Amino acid sequence: MSAVKKAVVVERLRKAQIVEFLSKGKRLDGRGLLDFRPIKIETGIIEKANGSARVQIGNTQVIAGVKIEIGEPFPDTPEMGLLVVNVEVLPLSSAYAEPGPPDEEAIELARVVDRGIRESKMVDLSKLVLISGKKVHALFVDVDILDTDGNLFDAASYATVASIATSTMPKSSVGQDGQIKQEDESIPLQINCIPISITLAKIDSEFIVDPTSEEEAVMDARITFTFDDDGKIRAGQKGQPGTLDFNQVKLAVEIAKAKAKEIREIIKKSIKDAKG
């Protein structure tokens, strides 16, 4: 279910053109190397979900929905609720995505997005316990990739963050008989921070942010960092066969950190607007 077309002849020829543009500080769509495409975020679009968000970055379009259910904790973490982030690259999303079980790229995408949210401790899982070791709240965040034009890592991450941050859940209590009661009243899900993921593509020797499908098809390496509110790195992942020298790794962190600060304001605003 790979959503990105592998570099074949035409893409390789295109690469020469892209590299030439990059050396002049330009991209095929007219953006600067470190410019994002316009980001559009809508929340609360699926009434049956506890929280939901549609994120568009240029032509890339994803939708995330949160379902909060009651489940059993993992035996090794009896004092923790559950958080599962799952990303589905739907065959609907591109001509190169096929139906069937997720391939390694789709699994990497889902795991990198999950890791950023999990490691940032955006949701305090210890507050989701109903009966220690027996019953906890389980947060399922499912992301549907609807339209693919690059940078699925960041789009899926922003949709996940926006949907979690705007989630509400039924007020629950444990009765004396050990039964869990859910009231009609909904309360907002508490969050600790807003993790922001920034993915850089390295093409030849240049870094760009927010790559399109066309750029991803020719990139040598990809690197994603997730930052918390304090600008601390909470997760990272390098992908694709290309390499980064040590200075490039440092540079990538610097670029991503500055970009995360900028994107955080956009995400924060959409969350604030949603909460009124």
Partner 1 sequence: MVELIDEKGLRMDGRRVDETRPIKIEVGVLKNADGSSYIEFGKNKIIVAVYGPKEVHPKHLALPDRSILRCRYHMAPFSTDTRKHPQPSRREIEISKVISEALEPALILEEYPRTVINVYLEVLQADGGSRCAGITASAVALADAGISMRDMVVACAVGKISGKVVLDLDDTEDKEGEADMPVAIMPNLNQTTLLQLDGILTPEEFEKAFEMAVNACRHIYEVQRKALIDKYFGEDEVGEE
Distance between CA atoms of residues 182 and 250, nearest Å: 49
Give 193's strand partners. Answer: none
Q: How far is the CB of 59 from partner 1 (least distance, A)?
A: 4
Distance between CA atoms of residues 103 and 85, nearest Å: 17
Residue closer to partner 1 by CB (options 153, 225) is 153
In this structure, what token pair is assigned to residue 107? Answer: 């699994």
Give the Cα-Cα-Cα angle 97, 103, 108 (nearest 5 degrees): 110
Residue closer to partner 1 by CB (options 9, 95) is 95
Q: How far is the CB of 160 from partner 1 (least distance, A)?
A: 12
Query: Alpha-carbon dihedral of residues 273, 158, 62, 67, nearest 10 degrees?
Result: -80
Residue closer to partner 1 by CB (options 58, 236) is 58
Residue numbers at the binding site for partner 1 (CB under 8 A) = 45-49, 52, 59, 61, 63, 65-67, 69, 86, 88, 90-95, 98-99, 140, 142, 144, 146-149
Residue closer to partner 1 by CB (options 69, 124) is 69
Distance between CA atoms of residues 107 and 257, nearest Å: 25
Q: How far is the CB of 80 from partner 1 (least distance, A)?
A: 19
Q: How far is the CB of 254 from partner 1 (least distance, A)?
A: 33
